[in-house]
A and B are shown apart, each in its own frame.
Chain A
Amino acid sequence: MGEPRIIEAEGITKVYRAGRNEVPALRGVDLIVAPGEMVAIMGASGSGKSTLMNIIGGLDAPTEGSYRLNGTRVDGLDRARMADIRNREIGFVFQGFNLLARTSALENVELPLLYDRSGRRRDTRRLAREALAQVGLADRADHGPSELSGGQQQRVAIARALITEPALILADEPTGNLDSRTSVEVLALFQELNDQGITILLVTHEADLARYARRLVALRDGLVVRDEAVPDRRRAAADLAAMPELQEAG
């Protein structure tokens, strides 16, 4: 089957039922993402981008269409198999960080490995430390989320997403709760990870952020209306250097 693909979605539709009405959220979306890509999915609220993200993330099933993730057919799987796919193939990064409260950064990062059924990774503590070091938070391992700034929390979440070495990092408005400088820092981290070959899907409604991706996919009314390479892609590291030094704000 030609070149390898991380995401291979064809004719994805999703219809929600609200009483007797049927509300289509996606009306036939095709999306193919190759390894190493960094794709921004853009769209206003109601465009269907959240629905698409849920389906790509294995949190929801499409009404119609076929979806393969890293070669595995995802549509039609039962809940338990979907959970395994999420665990193995996807690293989620959410807008609200979604770290477990009163749980140390290290334990938050370790968590996905505890649900790994393959038992491949035994030394979960060491791996969690390495992942934290990868996002520059080795010295914050024992801090709880409430002791970390927003940017640090999001980096812990990214470390948690990285620890299972997933095929895809799925970031849903990852900078929505962060100030502009911290947002650029997080994007610098994503670009750095992408440069190491990690595939990243960035869901956002901010056009500014989409310019840090390599490719832009725009949705409107449940359809893909634009799919193109990002012209003059911005480098977050360079933008950061140009920014005045500020104290990191939570």
Chain B
Amino acid sequence: MRSGNLLKIAARSIARNKMRSLLTMLGIVIGVAAVIVMVAVGDGAQTRIREQIDNLGTNMIVITPGSSSAGGVNRGAGSFNRLTLDDAEALERESLLLTAVSPVIFTHGQIIGGQGNWRAPIMGVDTDYAVIRDWPVSAGRWFDQEDVRAKRKVALIGATIAEELYAGTDPVGQRIQLRNVPFTIVGVLAEKGQTAEGSDQDDVVLAPYTTVQTRLAGRSFIGQILASTSAPEQIEAAQADVRLIMRDSHALGDWEEDDFTVRNQTELAEAAQGTTEVMTLLLAAIASISLLVGGIGIMNIMLVSVTERTREIGIRMAIGARGGDILTQFLVESTVMSLLGGFIGVATGYLGSALLGRITGWDTAILPHTVAVALLFSAGVGIFFGFYPARKAAALNPIEALRHE
């Protein structure tokens, strides 16, 4: 039997029971669509996260107050604030591996300047912050060591604020009031985009930490300390180094837990990645269950089909079809059916991931090999679940099959 004829027989049989075939394919359609969306979203999220990690800065280490677990009891990070400027100075002074260290003091408040007012986070940082976050200015200049030492009221504004308050004008050199304290804008930060969590990094004002502490925050505790090494290989050693220096700086006894947390960029990324992994896992579960159920559906329908067409099988055998011919005929039919489901699934998945890409803003590109794998998989399901009914058909006794009503 030529393949053209086999395909024709299969197509005819599927077309004869359109509704039935369609319902049978549904499981495969959902399964394949889920696979396509899963891979597209997974790829998109992966790319996105990688971009964001690079975006965070280079070889960054983050020191935050509080420990994730203290003596088995999680007190929550920041539940008692014990990061000080002394810690930052100690790190700068004592670590040989850290090439840049910057305290970060978080506050926020009303900003008045240019064409109106705005509310945004204000961060007090050191000049090293530019290196750690890999964040240059697009206009003007970064504030320098002299500005920090002299606690000058100079500020850098993010691209969003430049857009909101100084649209159409050059903000450099202009006045800006941060919580009613007048500052001079010395530069505009280059655009950085969103974080993994979706917050706008460009909606920020940076000022020397010394100025922020004395003029705005009035606290000696700081939100976090950022540091970086010159090469990624040194991060682990630097982290250990940081821990020792911090423990020493906090005068912790041997029996005491760390009252700070040291994490690197990769660890931050892993946390973000966890979310997409759950989503991917969920979709993978849906996909495999759906393919399994779809496969069983195909097997069921093929068994029905074999029974319905017992007489046809008898006729074919009487005029010379071998068992193998009958087996092939039914296998082709189940495979065509699941492949068709696969094609519909690919189309559905394509639309689904395009839609999801729109909503999330992720780049949900569908790679050709994903489509190939999905189709191969659905063909595999057709062959696997079609085999038992096909073998049953092939094993029929022609005499009894011909007698079947």
A→B interface (CB under 8 Å)? 54, 57, 59-60, 79-80, 83-84, 86-88, 92, 94, 98-102, 111-112, 114-116, 160, 164
Contact = CB atoms under 8 A, between A and B. Distances in A.
A142 to B, nearest CB: 15
A237 B323 CA distance: 41
Q: Which 3 A-B pairs have the closest CB atoms?
A: A87-B320, A115-B320, A83-B322
Contacts of A116: 320
Determine which residue in A59, A83, A86, A87 has the highest number of CB atoms from chain B within 10 A of its CB, and name it: A83
B405 to A, nearest CB: 10
Contacts of A59: 318, 398-399, 402
B241 interface: no
A54 B402 CA distance: 11
B399 A54 contact: yes
A54 B324 CA distance: 21
B311 A98 contact: yes
A213 B197 CA distance: 92
B315 interface: yes
A37 to B, nearest CB: 22
B319 A112 contact: yes
Interface string B5-36: 10000001000100000000000000000000
Given A54-B399, A60-B399, A114-B2, A98 B323 contact: no
B320 A84 contact: yes
Nearest to B317: A83
Given A54-B399, A59-B399, A98-B402, A115 B318 contact: no
B327 to A, nearest CB: 11
B402 A115 contact: no
22 contacts: A59-B398, A83-B317, A83-B320, A83-B322, A83-B323, A84-B322, A87-B319, A92-B318, A92-B319, A98-B311, A98-B314, A98-B318, A100-B315, A112-B319, A112-B320, A114-B1, A115-B1, A115-B319, A115-B320, A115-B321, A115-B325, A116-B320
A41 to B, nearest CB: 17
B316 interface: yes
Given A59-B318, A83-B325, A92-B318, 18 more contacts: A57-B318, A59-B398, A60-B399, A80-B322, A83-B323, A84-B322, A86-B317, A87-B319, A94-B318, A94-B402, A98-B311, A98-B315, A101-B312, A102-B16, A111-B316, A114-B5, A115-B321, A164-B320
A100 B318 CA distance: 12
Nearest to A97: B315
Interface in B146-161: none
Interface of B: 1-2, 5, 12, 16, 311-312, 314-325, 398-399, 402
Given A86-B318, A111-B316, A115-B1, A79 B399 contact: no
Contacts of B12: 102
A59 B403 CA distance: 13
B320 A80 contact: no
Contacts of A94: 318, 402
A12 B317 CA distance: 23
Contacts of B311: 98
Given A59-B398, A94-B402, A111 B323 contact: no
Contacts of B402: 59, 94, 98
A100 B312 contact: yes
A115 B323 contact: no
A187 B67 CA distance: 100
Contacts of B5: 114
Nearest to A99: B315
A115 B9 CA distance: 14
Contacts of A80: 322-324
Contacts of B320: 83-84, 86-88, 112, 115-116, 164
Contacts of A99: 315
A48 to B, nearest CB: 14
Nearest to A108: B315
A84 B324 CA distance: 12
Contacts of A79: 322-323
Nearest to A84: B320
Contacts of A164: 320
Contacts of A57: 318
Nearest to A91: B319
Contacts of B323: 79-80, 83
Contacts of A112: 319-320
B324 to A, nearest CB: 7
A113 B317 CA distance: 13
A86 B399 CA distance: 13
Contacts of B316: 111, 115
A136 to B, nearest CB: 21
B379 to A, nearest CB: 24
A164 B320 CA distance: 11
Contact of A86 (B1, B2, B319, B324): B319
A145 to B, nearest CB: 11
A111 B399 contact: no
Contacts of B398: 59
A101 B325 CA distance: 19
Nearest to A60: B399
Determine which residue in B12, B316, B324 has the highest number of CB atoms from chain A within 10 A of its CB, and name it: B316
A98 B325 CA distance: 19
Contacts of B314: 98
B207 to A, nearest CB: 82
Determine which residue in B12, B16, B319, B325 has the highest number of CB atoms from chain A within 10 A of its CB, and name it: B319
